[in-house]
A and B are shown apart, each in its own frame.
Chain A
């Protein structure tokens, strides 16, 4: 069974949390990824270089482990994992998912140096590997939530302070009202976007487009020609495969405004320009046309500005200023 998640690009993955698997618990650092639906961690038998620098799961040390056995292959934008399915008790904070199926990778390509051991997918079950019920669905069916929602607050300034919450929304993490946007199809967390503008001019997505709301990547991706246009409008120049801007431009550039469901979501230059030592880079990245000419990907840069709620029951996403 092959599952493809072309969007997930671990190069820019930044926010990780801890989960435990098995009895007694073995701890892993995972990405809570709304762009995919599978949970996997490296297996102790994995011999790929990436597995030597990450925590690996030892099934023999867990009394609650059951081998499902089905082989899995998951393709990501910049890597592949291959392995088999198992089942065990998985803990996320106080949540306990019993008989939770998950992937154990035996081979990993392209994950060397990634700041996480595995991925915990939070997309819809329709894009999960056959036979592997996503952890959110398993917890939901086990009655773990009063409301089948999860939400992200991504801190702007500190490495700590970011949270993912399950089963409801803590209103202290956002200002004003949540604006609800229906998902375009119940497979990915994909929403319709009306347009993208700067200085009152539409600069991309002029006839509407689709946007993945993806916690598994940190930047904003779009079709190369449109992204190049946005980068040119901010006088960015290509330097070593990245668009560099003058750091002083942060004071003068306008916000980039994403209009979603008729509501403007401004992204200020302080958010879309990142400073790294003495250079400043635009976070707008091209290359998404391989997937579809009309798709954008809103990653952590966007989600740091906007608290996000993912409502599985009503198949909608809520956004409000963080």
Chain B
């Protein structure tokens, strides 16, 4: 009675941003947002 569901490996957002040279901007923005959340 094991139900098996297929999973698909997608391209991660990190990979997409890295390809577009946007990863650094994203991580900096995220760090800023998280520091605001922390405070």
Assess whether A162 is in contact with B6, with CB atoms less than 8 Å apart.
yes
Are B14 and A17 in contact (CB-based, < 8 A)? no
The smallest C-beta distance from B38 to any residue of chain A, in angstroms, reads: 7
Q: Which of A262-282 contact B (CB under 8 A)?
A: 276
A11 to B12 alpha-carbon distance, docked (Å): 6
Q: Is A296 an interface residue (CB 8 A)?
A: no
**Listed residue (A115, A154, A168) with the most chain B CB atoms within 10 angstroms of its CB:** A115
CB atoms of B12 and A13 under 8 A apart: yes
Known A168-B1, A276-B15, A276-B18: A155·B6 in contact at CB below 8 Å: no
* Known A240-B23, A241-B27: A15·B2 in contact at CB below 8 Å: no
Q: Chain B contact residues: over half helix, strand or loop, or mixed?
A: helix
Q: With A and B bound together, what is the CA distance between A159 and B11 in angstroms?
A: 9
B8: chain A residues at CB < 8 Å are 15-17, 159-160, 162
Contact A164 B2 (CB under 8 A): no
Q: A32, A110, A113, A159: which contacts B9 (Cβ < 8 A)?
A: A159
Total contacts A-B at CB 8 Å: 106
CB of B27, distance to nearest CB on chain A (Å): 5
| Chain A residues with CB under 8 A of B9 | 14-15, 154-155, 158-160, 162
| Band of interface residues on A | 35 or more
Write the A114-133 contact mask toward B (1 if CB under 8 angstroms, else 0).
11100000000000000000
Q: Which residue of B lies closest to A78 (CB)?
A: B30
Secondary structure at the A interface, as helix, strand, loop or mixed, is loop
Let me know if A101 is at the binding interface, CB within 8 A. no
Residues on the B chain within 8 Å of A113, using CB:
13, 16-17
**Shortest distance between the CB of A245 and any CB in chain B (Å):** 15
> Restricting to A135-158, which residues have a CB under 8 Å from any CB of B?
145-146, 152, 154-155, 158
Complex interface bits, A174-186 against B, C-beta within 8 A gives 1, otherwise 0: 0000000000000
* A16 and B7 contacting across the interface, CB-CB below 8 Å: yes
Residue ID in chain A nearest B18 by CB atoms: A276
Residues of B within 8 A of A242 (CB): 18, 23
Complex: A237 Cα to B6 Cα, angstroms: 37
Q: Is there contact, CB below 8 Å, between B3 and A93?
A: yes
State the CA gap A146–B16 with chains docked (Å): 41
B2 touches A241 (CB 8 A): no
Q: Please determine whether A167 and B2 come into contact, CB atoms closer than 8 angstroms.
A: yes
* CB-based contact B10/A16 at 8 Å: yes
CB pair B4 A14 closer than 8 Å: no
Q: Measured between alpha carbons, how far is A63 from B34 in the docked complex, in Å?
A: 40
Instruction: Give the distance to chain A from B21, nearest Cβ to Cβ, in Å.
Output: 8
Q: Which of A114, A170, A240 contacts B24 (CB 8 A)?
A: A240
In the A-B complex, the 3 residue pairs with the closest CB atoms: A115-B10, A168-B2, A162-B7
Which residues of A does B touch, CB under 8 Å? 10-18, 32, 75, 77-78, 92-95, 110, 113-116, 145-146, 152, 154-155, 158-160, 162-170, 218, 240-242, 276, 290
With A94-B3, A290-B38 given, can you name 13 additional A-B contacts, CB distance below 8 Å?
A15-B8, A16-B7, A18-B5, A110-B30, A159-B8, A159-B9, A160-B9, A163-B5, A164-B5, A165-B4, A166-B5, A241-B27, A241-B28
Residue positions of B touching A, CB distance < 8 A: 1-19, 23-24, 26-28, 30, 33-34, 37-38
